[in-house]
Amino acid sequence: MLKIQNLYKSYGSFEAISGLNFNVNPGALYGIVGPNGAGKTTLIRVIMGLLEKDSGEIFIDGELIKKRDRSVYRKFGYVPDYFGFYEDLTVWEYMVFFAEAFHMDGLMMRRRNMELLERVGLEKKADVMVDTLSRGMQQRLSFARALIHDPKFVLMDEP
């Protein structure tokens, strides 16, 4: 379970997150809705440890998340609002690049990448350059990439 307690984050005098409390139960799907500038992206970045909170606590399975705890990163898959694709790679090379970042070996990586590309309907696009994909296909590829390491939570920003 992901538990947020009394979370605050501000930028100068602007409070992006003010006293937020919520729980995310295993297997559940939650959405955070709000206008631009409401703090949704800030919340995701704070949860993942990419941005420091002002105060409050974040727990995963009862364990308090410390500042910049690298072990936390492996628990999350992240689909950003901006994909940041490597345009000179094929879909397959893109998936391999990120699988290697999680230290997957050859056979495990091949199986996982093929499974994920099939899951998002891109298995026939493996040899296609990433920059030639439609925006929808790029979104699906980004989702597949977020699942490579079998994270406990997937956070999607403007999916």
Q: What is the pLDDT of residues 108-121, one digit of tens each?
A: 899 999 999 999 99
Q: What is the pLDDT of residues 13-67, one digit of tens each?
A: 999 999 999 999 877 888 888 888 888 989 988 888 888 899 999 998 888 887 6
Q: What angle do CA 83, 107, 150 make, to 5 degrees?
A: 45
Total of domains in the chain:
2
Question: Residue 33, by phi and psi: left (phi above 0), alpha (psi -120 to 50) or beta?
Answer: beta
Residue-level pLDDT at 122 = 98
Give me the phi and psi of 86, to 5 degrees please: -90, 100
The CATH number covering residue 66 comes to 3.40.50.300
Whether 11 and 67 share a structural domain = yes
Whether 101 and 133 share a structural domain = yes
159 falls within a domain: no
Can you give the residue range of the structural domain that contains 22?
2-75
Whether 127 and 95 share a structural domain = yes
42 falls within a domain: yes
> Comparing 29 with 99, which gets the higher pLDDT?
99
Whether 39 and 67 share a structural domain = yes
Average model confidence (pLDDT) across the chain: 89
84 falls within a domain: no
Whether 95 and 69 share a structural domain = no
Q: Place 68 in a pLDDT band, splitting at 50, 70 and 90.
A: low
85 falls within a domain: no
Whether 36 and 100 share a structural domain = no
18 falls within a domain: yes
